[in-house]
Amino acid sequence: MDSPLSATTTRMSEDSTVPRETLTITDNRTGKSYEIPINHDTIRAADLRQIKVDPKEFGMMSYDPAFNNTASCISKVTFIDGDAGILRYRGYPIEDLAEKSTYLETAYLLLNGELPTPSQLKDWTYHVTHHTFIHESIKKFLDGFHYDAHPMGMMISTIAALSTFYHDAKDIFSAESRQKQTYRLIGKVPTIAAFSYRHTLGMPFVYPDNELSYPGNFLNMLFRTTEPKYRPNATLEHALDVLFILHADHEQNCSTNTIRGVGSSHVDPYSATAAAIAALYGPLHGGANEEVLHMLMQIGSIQKVPDFIKRVKTGEVKLMGFGHRVYKNYDPRARIIKHIAYEVFELMGKNPLLEIALECERIALEDEYFVKRKLYPNVDFYTGLIYQSMGFPMTMFPVLFAIPRTSGWIAQWEEMLLDPEQKIARPRQIYLGHNTRHYVPIDQRN
């Protein structure tokens, strides 16, 4: 990255016809002009601080609620072009990875920046596979939850509790410690997710089977009953692996912003990951896949779709699974997921809600309300239909998002930690509250 120029020095181009990489701002309150360097098509908010009316002032800030137009970091992990519908992990198009890679290989790519060699992949797979067991005491946490506890609530709590077992996790600036916690998190998150699911059913926990693939072992821990050896269905195993690839990372989304923010206080990675899972749980983020199914069930039939769309257009309800802060085109993941859906339905039978979903999409892609706002199906629109057909209850849908996203969260957390420009996240504010006022004894308050 070019070394950022300070605001007081600017790159004067030799040829005056060549535009300088700067922004000239004139403060009309004072008539003063300021030349602010432009790097990567952005200016540093800190360069605005010199703009003052009175030298004693704090100086100018930028105001950007929900960070609609603010870059919080420089990252090399994931690239999205929202208008073109492009998504790349470390430069590799998501379409290539979904077709040719596996989730574990993709997780390695996100975490290490390069696709693994055969020996690197073997070593990575070995370590993740040999960290799938959890401490027996953790089962007591899970047993303490009510039978109808939401698995995401169980995940948040139990992943945070991992920090109490691995005291070495606080050594966040040791590459060796970070590597070990990464093995543990990628290895144990599916186990805790499966145990949470089994707890809600009142079924015994199924221990990991290290001879199975990452998705295959997850299916084993979820669905094995009395058979001595669980044999995952190859179609479902592959579908889950591709879905995990598609959900692995997505640059600075809400939950990634959370792990970067919480991690910036230098807390251990288990506590930071638990915070990210909490952010993902929200219905506007990873919880949307569960809300989509509730919405489709509420609509109930194709005939009722037009009435529901009317309610969406009045602002009464949202069309869950549609819209995106970045994608103003079809979410490239949704396109791939739609193909996977048909593979799963061929095996498990078509999900009866599919027709309602397709009708919602058909209308939305034609209707001015959605076209004007560039609302397209996002990653959450079709996943729920697949998960339901695979036998998952709706409460498990966001958990199926959290499992693969763990690799993206850890890749982003580590990038934040090692970025010399990053420090504890502490935004400013515009204060419009009361000015100084004095305490009034209660017997004098009206």
Active site members: 285, 324, 380
Using CA atoms, how far apart are residues 220 and 347, in angstroms rounded to an integer? 18
**Binds ligand SDX by CB under 6 A, chosen from 379, 390, 396, 416:** 379
Least distance CB 41 / ligand SDX (angstroms): 20
CA distances from 92 to 96, 109, 158 (A): 7, 9, 33
Interacting span for ligand SDX (CB under 6 A) from 207-215, 301-309, 324-332, 424-432 = 324-332
Residue 49 vs 325, nearer CB to ligand SDX = 325
Q: Which is nearer to ligand SDX, 150 or 198 (CB)?
A: 150
Question: Which residues have a Cβ under 8 Å from the Cβ of 345 and sit 6 or more positions away?
Answer: 351, 354, 389
C-beta of 180 vs 318, nearer to ligand SDX: 318
Instruction: Please identify, using beta-carbon distances, which residue of 51 and 319 lies nearer to ligand SDX.
Output: 319
CA atoms within 13 A on the CB side of 39: 16
How many CB atoms lie under 10 A from the CB of residue 401?
Answer: 28
Is 377 a binder of ligand SDX (CB under 6 A)? no
**Which tokens in the block code for residue 394?**
């709706």
Among 250, 281, 376, 406, binds ligand SDX (CB under 6 A): 250
Does 335 engage in binding with ligand SDX (CB under 6 A)? Answer: no
Contact pattern from residue 278 through residue 297 relative to ligand SDX, giving x for each residue in contact according to CB under 6 A and a dash for the rest? ------xxx-x---------
Residue type (1 letter), 331: D
Would you count residue 354 as binding ligand SDX (CB under 6 A)?
Answer: no
Cα separation, 221 vs 378, whole angstroms: 29
Tokens, residue 154? 């169980």
Helical pair 397-418 and 288-299, crossing angle rounded to 10 deg: 150
Q: Residue 285 or residue 350: which is nearer to ligand SDX going by CB? A: 285
Nearer to ligand SDX, 37 or 286 (CB): 286
Q: Using an 8 Å Cβ cutoff, are 195 and 205 in contact?
A: yes
How many residues bind to ligand SDX according to rule CB under 6 A? 21
* Region label for 305, one of left (φ > 0), alpha (ψ between -120 and 50) or beta (otherwise): alpha
Q: Yes or no: say if 390 and 344 are a contact pair by the CB < 8 Å rule.
A: yes
Chosen residue from 378, 389, 406, 412 binding ligand SDX by CB under 6 A: 378
Question: Using the rule CB under 6 A, which residue among 127, 135, 170, 325 binds ligand SDX?
Answer: 325
Residue from 160, 312, 386, 399 binding ligand SDX (CB under 6 A): 312
Out of 109, 262, 375, 396, the residue judged to bind ligand SDX by CB under 6 A: 375
- Residues in CB range of 139: below 8 A, 6 or more apart: 195, 205
Of 373, 391, 423, 427, the residue at the interface with ligand SDX (CB under 6 A) is: 373
- Angle formed by the axes of helices 397-418 and 234-246, nearest 10°: 40
Contacting positions for ligand SDX (CB under 6 A)? 250, 253, 284-286, 288, 312, 318-326, 373, 375, 378-380
